[in-house]
Amino acid sequence: MTAAGAAAVGKLDGRVAVVTGGARGIGAAYARGLAAEGAAVAVCDVLDPSATVAAVAAAGGRALGMIADVSDRAAVAGLVARTLEAYGRIDALINNAAVLVLRPTPFTEIDPAEWERVMRVNVRGTMECARAVVPAMRAAGYGKIVNVASDTFLRGTPWMLHYVASKGAVIAMTRAMAQELGADGIRVNCIAPGLTMSEAILAVPDGPVKNAAGAVAIRALKRDELPEDLVGAAVFLASADSDFMTGQTLVVNGGASVV
């Protein structure tokens, strides 16, 4: 605004966003970033999200937190009900919660239980959360669902087939959901990050972090990717700026080559 002393207007003023997997790392960055643009945020995770809620409040924003497994339909329904009770609406969902595969494994050796866990959270959890917010968005005639995939799907990254397959499914679901929900005014888009130096990655020094130099080498922008690098895309997709965009995947990986 140009008037002297007038408060800045955020891109998400008056909006309410649900962020899954928001206790730390990329999800926490999404929650803080959306709140900084004026959104009230509801944060869930299987971990305690209170630190993220406190960070948002300390910066002058509004947030609530809840421990919930995104693959548990009742828990997700509870998150949505609590959000609607607190804020009266849901304008955006950042579908970020996922099982991150940290141990390279040939697909011939993937344990069936681990495969099922990755698919249950990354694929079914994405669907369950989208399913839960649709009634409120449909009633409003407007909404933004932002799914989070990975550039591993685009690159065909080896040694983590269950994770890569799950993120490919997220991109596929994004396209199908967009077609189903367009008539309701609900836009569904996707973010595909590259290898991001989140807390989970940094906590396992003999895991993906050892590949960071290789990831940087194939990027046009020669540095590590940080959680904050993904916030702008999330804000854009949750805001009115992307209102004539649906079914799309934004690749945010510093310009790494993709096949």
**Cα separation of the two ends of the chain:** 43
Rounded CA separation 25/113 (Å):
25
Active-site residue among 30, 87, 142, 163? 163
* 195, burial (CB in 10 Å: exposed 0-12, middle 13-18, buried 19+): buried
Rounded CA separation 208/205 (Å):
7
Residue 63 to residues 48, 82, 246: CA-CA distances in angstroms? 14, 12, 27
Q: Is there a contact between 250 and 178 (Cβ–Cβ < 8 Å)?
A: no
The question of whether 163 is a catalytic residue gets the answer yes
Q: Would you give the DSSP letter of residue 47?
A: S
Q: Is there a contact between 240 and 167 (Cβ–Cβ < 8 Å)?
A: no
As annotated, the active-site residues are 163
